Structure 1
Amino acid sequence: MSLLARPFPTALTSVALAALTCAFAAPAQADQFVEAADGATIDCVLARGALTRIALVEDGFANVSKMASGFPYNDFEVTHEPVRGDIYVSVPLQYASARVSFFATSSAGHVYKFACRVEGEDASQLFVTNPALAKSEAADWEEGSPSRDDATLRLIEAMANDAVLPGFRARAALSRPRRTGSLEVQQVAEYEGAELTGQAFTLRNLGSEPIDLSSEREAPAGALAFAYGRDALAPGETAQAFLVFAKGGLE
């Protein structure tokens, strides 16, 4: 994704500010964010009849171990994707149990037990962060002493790549979609650090004409940076957008 740092477009300002202050409970199929140490049991929700992607932040899976049910056509499957080190879990509609369990070993040598409920109906994602890895990276981060501008840009890059910076906590945070004209804005995640907070949004063009996102320059008070992946949205298209502001609210 090629991110273009811009002030917040006027058309988005009132919509996004409302989304920042009006959070609603996330549905089961929303992205899940979990912290887990080596040897921990991870409780999560898996989709039935759809794929669930499980990714390790700053690590990757090297091996997966599960017991066969004895009914191969009705058993769940765990597929290892070696390029990124992710795993994909597929639970068939006819799978009898309401729970799934298996073990996974990471490239860094950590072992995790997954004991998950089968409830979701749509494809979903689970992101696992190990605090032991975060501490090591946090030391490198602090040693570099990034300026606030540099930290802001790095936070935007991390959000765009589904990564988490050292010292930040990420969580799914779906808001009610807000609409101004034909543009719909929905908050989907929040990244909280000691000094900065990042908000990730999904933009949707619900109209019949393209929307020029780069035509206006006004930003909400206190916003440090805003970025999006394209200058315009064609009818029916969606795009990501990212807002960063100082911890503790708008200045």
Structure 2
Amino acid sequence: MERQNPDKPGVFPQAPSQEEWDAMDEAARARVLNSLPGEVTWEEMAPPEGDRHFQAKIRALDALRGYFTRQKRRVYLAAELPVYFPAKKRFAPDLLAVLDVETHERDRWVVSAEGKGLDFVLEVHVGGDRKKDSELNVERYAQLGIPEYFVYDRARQRLFGWRLPVSGARAYMPILAQHGRYASEQLGLELQVEDGRLRFWAGHAPLLESDEFISRLEHLMAGIQLRAEEETRRAEEEAQRRQDMEHRLAEETRRREEAERRLAEVQATLERLEKNQR
């Protein structure tokens, strides 16, 4: 059977051109949006590549989402989300980022409706033909005006990056590593392959994934608990010392009062004897 050509207009769902979109009223635009599927077909995407592929993009998504949430920055992040550029073949990158937009959940990214294209794309390569990620997408994403594109080749533990040199350019320039790290101007972060995983850096601080963040919190909580227990033990020891001291003071007071009582009795006895001797 002849395979369908996804580049042919109309073979797969496609967003209208920008001119067509601009000519539509709100009702027509709503119908178009509802007609665009929130998934792509097997003919349009690479076959599944297993846990190494899945975990790499999910970890990256997790680290970035946690970081930008803590920074209170409006950065929309998604994995394998269908993207519709005007009158272009749709695609679903492993990871995408769009800056300064609302971060609510979406089923698709329609450039004309959102008013903005993608700012950052990451593809993870584990197996199969590297040409798609390292050549075809380099040309395609540049033509779409995506400012930055990175490829994490997990099979070889290597990282590659490209950037549009100026606004409006449609050809990438490679991003050169500095001390093993690749700068992302769009994210304001650095990327590096470290210890068998893709790591993002904000200055000298690594972006922690959820499990790492939780592990550090647990470690901090364990330290806080240990210090709290130590403070409690010291407080209890101090309280016991105060109690012992109060007990000793009470005992000394009792003894002094007893001695004073006996002395008073002796003095009284002596006074009686002296009185009897007169």
| Alignment TM class, shorter chain as reference | under 0.3
Question: Would you tell me which structure has more strand in proportion to its own residues?
Answer: 1
Between 1 and 2, higher relative CO (CA 8 Å, sep ≥ 6) is seen in 1
Structure index of larger Rg: 2
TM-score after normalising by structure 2 = 0.24
Question: Would you tell me which structure has more helix in proportion to its own residues?
Answer: 2
